[in-house]
Amino acid sequence: MTITKTIFSGFGGQGVLVMGYVLATSGMHDDKHVTFLPSYGAEVRGGTANCTVTVSDEPIASPVASFPDFAVLMNTPSLVKFEEGIKAGGIVFLNSDLVELKPKRRDIQVVSIPINSIAERVGNVRSANMVMIGAFIQKTGLVSLKSVIRSVKSIFETKGSKVHKMNTLAIEQGSAFVK
């Protein structure tokens, strides 16, 4: 595996861009080539949000993913929009608390995680995206857990140690769920 593209998609407010940013930052800490490309324009403010992260062992030509290897889909519209483009043999990560449909394709692997429920158990539904990141890393091995923890710590630096503890726990719970 030399070049891997992942799409993160969901409602604005679900922390979709943060997930992508965490992955890209972690890849950077792992000394990989990375790009992070947010969807931008009027639609990013409040509506659906998505971003594409490329992690690669060689320089990255295009940061765009026509056929992503992985798709992290946080709501139903995201599944409708991105299912068809996922590479055969790719993995789709679904937020099973919110995604009401099942993927139609049989040539992709589906990992369903009730991230909202897990996050609520951890203490705050707002860390659902961290649960998802934990599951994603465990399943794909795309970047090291150590780098993810480091990235999350620096991204939420100003929020204090309580938030960091909760994020770390959420990542561990997500990871444990798919082990």
Partner 1 sequence: MDRRLMCGSHVIGEAATRAGCRFYAGYPITPQNELPEYMSKRFAKMDDAIFIQAESELAAINMVMGASMAGVRAMTSSSSPGISLKQEGISYIAGMELPAVIVNIMRGGPGLGNIAPSQQDYFQATRGGGHGGYRTIVLAPCSGQEMVTLTMKAFDLADAYRTPVLVLGDGLMGQMMEPVTFPDPIDPAATLPQKDWVLDGAGGRDSRLIASLILDPIDMEQHNWKLAGKYKAICESETRHESYLLDDAVLAVVAFGTAARIAKGAVNRVRKAGLKVGLFRPISLWPFPEKELKALSSTIKHLLVFEMNLGQMVEDVKISVGEQATVDFHGRPGGIISTPHEIAGEITKLIYRYDTG
Binding site for partner 1 (CB under 8 A): 21, 24-25, 28, 34-38, 40-41, 58-64, 66
Taking the least distance from each CB to partner 1, the nearer of 60 and 108 is 60
| Shortest Å, Cβ 35 to partner 1 | 5
Rounded CA separation 167/19 (Å): 12
For the bound state, the minimum distance from the C-beta of residue 41 to partner 1, rounded and expressed in Å, comes to 5
- Complex with partner 1: residue 21 or 93, whichever CB lies closer: 21
Residue-level length of the chain: 179
For partner 1, give the closer residue by CB, 60 or 125: 60
Distant-in-sequence, close-in-space partners of 39: CB < 8 Å, separation ≥ 6: 49, 50, 51
Q: How far apart are CA 117 and CA 114, in angstroms?
A: 6
- Strands in 39-106 per DSSP E: 48-56, 70-73, 91-95
Return the H-helix or E-strand segment holding 170: helix 161-178
CB of 101 to partner 1, least distance (A): 28
Q: In whole angstroms, how close is the CB of 65 to partner 1 at the nearest point? A: 9
Q: Please give the C-alpha separations between residue 172 and each of 84, 90, 145, 150, in angstroms, as whole numbers.
A: 30, 23, 9, 14
Please say which residue, 31 or 100, places its beta carbon nearer to partner 1: 31
